[in-house]
Structure 1
Amino acid sequence: MATKSKESENDELISPLVPTKRRKNVNRDTTNSDVCFVGKPLPDTEASDRWPHRYQSKSKVKRVEVAGSKEEGSKSEEKEVLQARCHYTQAMIDGSIYNLNDDAYVQAEDGKPNYIARIIELFEGIDRELYFTAQWFYRAEDTVIKDHAELIDKRRVFLSDIKDENPLNCIVSKVKIALVSPNVDLVTKEKTIPPCDLYYDMKYSLSYLTFANIVIDNLEQSKTERSRSSISSDTKSNHPIGDAIVAIEESKKSEMTLLDLYSGCGAMSTGLSIGAVISGVKLLPRWAVDINPHACESLRLNHAKTEVRNEAAEDFLALLKAWTKLCEDFSLFGSDQLPEQNFDLERADDNDNDEEEDDDGDEGSMVPDVDFEVQNLLAVCYGDPNKIKKPGLYFKVRWKGYGSSEDTWEPIEGLSQCKEKLKEFVMKGCKSKILPLPGDVDFICGGPPCQGVSGFNRFRNQEAPLDDVKNRQLLVFMDIIEHLKPRYVLMENVVDILKFAGGFLGRYAIGRLVSMNYQARLGMMAAGSYGLPQFRMRVFLWGACPTEKLPQYPLPTHKVNARKFIPNEFEEIHVGSVIDEHCMLQEALCLENTISDLPPVTNDESEDIRKYGTTARTEFQRYIRLKRNDMVTYMADVQSVPQTSMLYDHRPLKLSKDDLDRVCLIPKKKGPTWCVGWSR
Structure 2
Amino acid sequence: MFPNSRRGSKKKKGNLEATSHYDKALVNGVVYSLNDDIYVQAKGEPNRIAKIIELFEGVDGEGYFRAQLFYRAEDTVIQDLAGEYLQEKRRVFLSNVEADYSLNLIVSKVHIIKLPAKILLENEERDIPACDFFYDMRYNLEHLTFSSVDNEISNVEGNDSNNVGSCNKEKYMLDLYSGCGAMSTGLCMGASLSGVNLITKWAVDNNSFACESLKLNHPETKCRRIFEIAEGMEKAMPKVFTSPKTEPLELDSDFEDDNESENNVEGESDGYEMSPDEFEVDEVLSICYGDPKKANASVKKVKPSALYFKVHWKGYDSEEENTWEPYDGLRKCKEKVKEFVTKGFKSKLLPLPGDVHIVCGGPPCQGLSGFNRFRNKDKPLQDEKNNQVTVFMDIIDYLKPKYVLMENVVSLLGFAKGFVGRYAVARLVNKNYQARLGIMAAGAYGVPQCRYRVFLWGAQPSEELKVGNNRSDLQLKTALTLGDATSDLPEVTNFEEREAINYDIEPETEFQKFISLPRADTLISNGEEESQLRILYDHQPLQMNKDDYQRACNISKKKGAYFTDLGGVVFEDKTVRIDPSVERVILPSGKPMVPNYAITYRDGKSKKPFGRLWYDEIINTVVTRAQPHNQCVLHPKQNRVLSARENARLQGFPDCYRLYGPVDEKYIQVGNAVAVPVGVALGYAFGMASQRLCDDKPVIDYPFMYPECLKRKEDSDRFKDPNSIHEEEIED
Short-chain TM bin: 0.7 to 0.9
Please, which of 106, 116, 120 is the counterpart of residue 185 of structure 1?
Answer: 120
1:286: how far off? 0.7
1:327: how far off? 2.6
Pairing of 1:321-470 with structure 2 (within 5 A): 321-328=235-242, 333-335=244-246, 372-387=279-294, 391-404=305-318, 405-470=320-385
Please, which of 21, 43, 48 is the counterpart of residue 5 of structure 2?
Answer: 43
Please, which of 211, 227, 231 is the counterpart of residue 156 of structure 2?
Answer: 231
CA distance in 1, matches of 2:96, 2:194: 30
1:100: how far off? 1.0
Q: How has the CA–CA distance of structure 1 residues 675 and 208 changed in structure 2, closer, same or farther, with 3 Å as cutoff?
A: farther
Tell me, yes or no, if structure 1 residue 597 matches structure 2 residue 488. yes
What corresponds to 1:569 in structure 2? none
CA distance in 2, matches of 1:267, 1:136: 41
What corresponds to 1:472 in structure 2? 387
Aligned to 1:192, the other structure's residue is in SS state coil
Check the 8 A contact 2:359/2:401 in 1, yes or no.
Answer: yes
Q: How has the CA–CA distance of structure 1 residues 89 and 494 changed in structure 2, closer, same or farther, with 3 Å as cutoff?
A: same
Check the 8 A contact 1:367/1:401 in 2, yes or no.
Answer: no
CA distance in 2, matches of 1:190, 1:250: 32
Please, which of 115, 140, 162 is the counterpart of residue 73 of structure 2?
Answer: 140
What corresponds to 1:88 in structure 2? 22
Pairing of 1:557-596 with structure 2 (within 5 A): 578-580=470-472, 583-596=474-487
Aligned to 2:367, the other structure's residue is in SS state coil
Letter in 2 for 1:334: K
Check the 8 A contact 2:117/2:154 in 1, yes or no.
Answer: no
CA distance in 1, matches of 2:425, 2:77: 8
1:56: how far off? 4.0
Q: Which whole-Å deviations, capped at 9, do the CAs of 1:112-151 have from their partners, x for residues lacking one? A: 2111000111112221101111000000110111031122
Q: How has the CA–CA distance of structure 1 residues 628 and 417 changed in structure 2, closer, same or farther, with 3 Å as cutoff?
A: same
Check the 8 A contact 2:111/2:132 in 1, yes or no.
Answer: yes
Pairing of 1:232-381 with structure 2 (within 5 A): 232=157, 235=158, 248-249=162-163, 252-254=166-168, 255-315=170-230, 318-328=232-242, 333-335=244-246, 372-381=279-288
Q: How has the CA–CA distance of structure 1 residues 651 and 593 changed in structure 2, closer, same or farther, with 3 Å as cutoff?
A: same
1:98: how far off? 1.8
Check the 8 A contact 1:248/1:547 in 2, yes or no.
Answer: no
Check the 8 A contact 1:181/1:189 in 2, yes or no.
Answer: no
Check the 8 A contact 1:181/1:192 in 2, yes or no.
Answer: no
What corresponds to 2:665 in structure 1? none
Check the 8 A contact 1:444/1:489 in 2, yes or no.
Answer: yes
Letter in 1 for 2:595: S
What corresponds to 1:679 in structure 2? 595
CA distance in 2, matches of 1:196, 1:585: 51
Q: State the superposition RMSD in angstroms.
A: 3.0
What corresponds to 1:515 in structure 2? 430
What corresponds to 1:115 in structure 2? 48
What corresponds to 1:210 in structure 2? 145
Tell me, yes or no, if structure 1 residue 665 matches structure 2 residue 581. no
Check the 8 A contact 1:189/1:229 in 2, yes or no.
Answer: no
Q: Which whole-Å deviations, capped at 9, do the CAs of 1:326-385 have from their partners, x for residues lacking one? A: 334xxx6423699xxxxxxxxxxxxxxxxxxxxxxxxxxx99869544333222111123
What corresponds to 1:362 in structure 2? none
CA distance in 2, matches of 1:599, 1:195: 72
1:673: how far off? 4.3
1:618: how far off? 1.4
Letter in 2 for 1:624: I
1:466: how far off? 1.1
Q: How has the CA–CA distance of structure 1 residues 644 and 250 changed in structure 2, closer, same or farther, with 3 Å as cutoff?
A: closer
Check the 8 A contact 2:244/2:352 in 1, yes or no.
Answer: no
Check the 8 A contact 2:19/2:56 in 1, yes or no.
Answer: yes
| TM-score normalised per structure 1 | 0.72
CA distance in 2, matches of 1:544, 1:93: 42
| Higher mean C-alpha deviation, range 467-476 or range 606-615 | 606-615
1:292: how far off? 0.7
Letter in 1 for 2:311: V
What corresponds to 2:98 in structure 1? 163
CA distance in 2, matches of 1:99, 1:186: 39
What corresponds to 1:343 in structure 2? none
Q: How has the CA–CA distance of structure 1 residues 455 and 672 changed in structure 2, closer, same or farther, with 3 Å as cutoff?
A: farther
Letter in 2 for 1:92: L
Check the 8 A contact 1:106/1:116 in 2, yes or no.
Answer: yes
Check the 8 A contact 1:147/1:508 in 2, yes or no.
Answer: no
Q: How has the CA–CA distance of structure 1 residues 506 and 337 changed in structure 2, closer, same or farther, with 3 Å as cutoff?
A: closer
CA distance in 2, matches of 1:174, 1:337: 53
Please, which of 40, 46, 49 is the counterpart of residue 106 of structure 1?
Answer: 40
Check the 8 A contact 2:365/2:388 in 1, yes or no.
Answer: no
| TM-score normalised per structure 2 | 0.67
Tell me, yes or no, if structure 1 residue 617 matches structure 2 residue 528. no
Aligned to 1:417, the other structure's residue is in SS state helix
Check the 8 A contact 2:151/2:464 in 1, yes or no.
Answer: no
Q: How has the CA–CA distance of structure 1 residues 676 and 177 changed in structure 2, closer, same or farther, with 3 Å as cutoff?
A: farther
CA distance in 1, matches of 2:5, 2:275: 103
Check the 8 A contact 1:320/1:436 in 2, yes or no.
Answer: no
Corresponding residue pairs, total: 531
Letter in 2 for 1:383: G
Check the 8 A contact 1:156/1:199 in 2, yes or no.
Answer: yes
Q: Which whole-Å deviations, capped at 9, do the CAs of 1:223-246 have from their partners, x for residues lacking one? A: xxxxx97414xx3x8xxxxx9xxx
Check the 8 A contact 2:518/2:533 in 1, yes or no.
Answer: no
Please, which of 58, 61, 84 is the counterpart of residue 125 of structure 1?
Answer: 58
CA distance in 2, matches of 1:509, 1:676: 48
Letter in 2 for 1:109: K
Please, which of 109, 118, 124 is the counterpart of residue 174 of structure 1?
Answer: 109
1:182: how far off? 0.6
Q: How has the CA–CA distance of structure 1 residues 430 and 253 changed in structure 2, closer, same or farther, with 3 Å as cutoff?
A: farther
Aligned to 1:207, the other structure's residue is in SS state coil
Check the 8 A contact 2:18/2:56 in 1, yes or no.
Answer: yes
CA distance in 2, matches of 1:172, 1:523: 37
Check the 8 A contact 2:120/2:126 in 1, yes or no.
Answer: no
What corresponds to 2:418 in structure 1? 503
Q: Which whole-Å deviations, capped at 9, do the CAs of 1:649-671 have from their partners, x for residues lacking one? A: 21222333222101112222222
CA distance in 2, matches of 1:437, 1:251: 24
Check the 8 A contact 2:177/2:206 in 1, yes or no.
Answer: yes
Q: How has the CA–CA distance of structure 1 residues 514 and 252 changed in structure 2, closer, same or farther, with 3 Å as cutoff?
A: farther
Check the 8 A contact 1:520/1:541 in 2, yes or no.
Answer: yes
1:645: how far off? 2.5
Letter in 2 for 1:393: L
Q: How has the CA–CA distance of structure 1 residues 610 and 596 changed in structure 2, closer, same or farther, with 3 Å as cutoff?
A: same
1:399: how far off? 3.5
1:169: how far off? 1.2
Check the 8 A contact 1:188/1:230 in 2, yes or no.
Answer: no
Q: Which whole-Å deviations, capped at 9, do the CAs of 1:291-345 have from their partners, x for residues lacking one? A: 1111111111111011111113433x644432223334xxx6423699xxxxxxx
CA distance in 1, matches of 2:220, 2:537: 23
CA distance in 1, matches of 2:61, 2:37: 24
Query: Where does structure 1 lack aligned partners over 5 or more consecutive residues?
Result: 1-36, 49-54, 63-78, 218-227, 238-242, 339-365, 554-574, 635-641
| Higher mean C-alpha deviation, range 398-407 or range 453-462 | 398-407
